[in-house]
Amino acid sequence: METPLTANIDPERGPLDRAGYEAAGGYGALRKVVADMAPGEVTQLVKDSGLRGRGGAGFSTGMKWGFIPLDDERPTCIVANADEMEPGTFKDRILLEGDPHQMVEAMAVSGYAIQARYAFIFLREEYRPAARALERAIGEAYAAGYLGTDILGSGYHLDLQLHTSAGRYICGEETALLSALEGRRPLPRAKPPFPQQSGLWGRPTVVNNVETLCNVPHIVNHGAEWFQGLSRTGDAGTKLYGASGKVNRPGAWELPMGTTARELIEEHAGGMRAGLRLRGMLPGGASTPFLTDAHLDLPLDFGHVGEAGSRLGTGAIIALDDGTCPVGMLANLERFFARESCGWCTPCRDGLPWTERILRAIDRGEGREGDLDNLALHCRYLGPGRTFCAHAPGAVGPLESGLKHFREDFERHIREQRCPWE
């Protein structure tokens, strides 16, 4: 069980049906918790395991669950955030398409831990094969008594529904997701109150990433120490790492937490394409600050990547090679983030389009004296604590680090009034 999350996944065979999943040990964790464990024991086990959120923030999963008031009379909800729209990230898609019953069991076990009455999988609109696989798995689980009323004769009830996203990046922010799930415009909400106190329709709610939740049944089956032993560093478990850009074998792999960027790129992704050299990388999707080739031997976990000045994020590396213009790459990224702003707060709504316009002008050879100072100013005023949610701070993370690591490329564009890569 060195790769518990992907052990059942075989692209040539397709996803297991309920019988195949049960034959592989599936739904054993659900049977165990409803028969032998109190809800608080499940939460404590997850807390002891050291499982941290795999959606980007890296918050302790067990601690997050612990904020749910189990004695509240309001029905509790659990939501899987499957709105995977982070550029360069495709790990959750693999889990949902390849082993949908794992997701269903994860929802049931996690729902039991917080005594949720209602569960939702909030799925990216474009993930249509995943939607079909999940719909089949949910139907089979209901038929077998793993969902619905009086699950396995335990007296526990859980209704699970699949909800298709409206198709906006901001829906991945947990409170905007809840607004969209309620049928309203996906705008982030003020915190506090946090969703654990007042979430979906004002009910106590936990929102977790798909990969995070899929770890839970395996922790129940094998224990906290086993989960910690899967890692190479202090952050427990395995991680679905990805690599894209001009590497020979783009893809995603389940590896021990703390695997180095060098191993991921050179061994699993097959290295850079012929004639190209790695200059930099976004280590956790498009909204994480750049690291450089000097960080290739950095363990990819929450602590080490944070100390290096970036974030692990989703663990999906986007590689920048020495044949690609970093200014053009950043202009493309900022265009995406500007388009995906919900428009709720002025710095994000107006600031991101300005950064994109400046970057486009520099890339076209129309850069002017003071443009770099202007970009740095935008990075400061769009940074953490300046906007309503984390969208804008995430958007300017690559830009601020790009100005630091690739400043000569920016200056050359302005000095020569052209893109040197054209």
What percent of the chain has a predicted confidence (pLDDT) above 90? 95
Residue 399: count of CB within 10 angstroms of its CB: 26
51 conformational bin, left if phi > 0, alpha if psi -120 to 50, beta if neither: beta
List CB contacts of 166: < 8 A, sequence separation 6 or more: 125, 180, 186
How far is residue 157 CA from its own chain's centroid? 28
Stretch 157-174: mean pLDDT: 94
Question: What is d(CA 357, CA 372) in angstroms, rounded to the nearest whole number?
Answer: 13
Stretch 381-394: mean pLDDT: 93
- Is 86:287 a contact under the CB 8 Å cutoff? yes
Residue 131's pLDDT band, with cuts at 50, 70 and 90, is: very high
Give residue 384's identity as a one-letter amino acid code.
P
22 burial via Cβ count (<10 Å: 0-12, 13-18, 19+): middle
Question: What is d(CA 172, CA 176) in angstroms, rounded to the nearest whole number?
Answer: 7
Residue 352's pLDDT band, with cuts at 50, 70 and 90, is: very high
Stretch 393-402: mean pLDDT: 96
Answer yes or no: is pLDDT of 1 > 70: no
C-alpha to C-alpha distances, 54 to 12, 14, 59, 238, 420, nearest whole angstrom: 27, 25, 9, 10, 38
Question: What is d(CA 271, CA 22) in angstroms, rounded to the nearest whole number?
Answer: 38
pLDDT at 57 (0 to 100): 81
Question: What is d(CA 192, CA 156) in angstroms, rounded to the nearest whole number?
Answer: 30
> Mean pLDDT score of the chain, rounded to an integer?
96
- Is 100:82 a contact under the CB 8 Å cutoff? no
Which tokens belong to 165? 């996203």
Note the pLDDT tens digit of each residue in 211-230.
Answer: 999 999 999 999 999 999 99
Note the pLDDT tens digit of each residue in 45-79.
Answer: 999 999 999 988 889 999 999 999 988 889 999 99
pLDDT at 70 (0 to 100): 87
How is residue 163 annotated by DSSP? E
Question: What is d(CA 366, CA 9) in angstroms, rounded to the nearest whole number?
Answer: 50
Stretch 303-307: mean pLDDT: 96
The secondary structure element, H or E, covering residue 241 is strand 238-244
Answer yes or no: is pLDDT of 198 > 90: yes
Stretch 310-333: mean pLDDT: 97
Q: Residue holding tokens 């920048």?
A: 320
pLDDT at 178 (0 to 100): 97
List CB contacts of 70: < 8 A, sequence separation 6 or more: 39, 40, 76, 114, 115
Q: Where are the beta strands (DSSP E) in 179-332?
A: 205-209, 238-244, 251-256, 278-282, 291-292, 316-321
Q: Residue holding tokens 């989703």?
A: 314
Q: HSE on the CB side for 103, CA within 13 Å?
A: 38
Q: Report phi then psi at 347, rounded to 5.
A: -55, -40
Note the pLDDT tens digit of each residue in 16-42.
Answer: 999 999 999 999 999 999 999 999 999
- Is 422:416 a contact under the CB 8 Å cutoff? no
Angle, CA of 325, 326 and 332, to the nearest 5°: 95
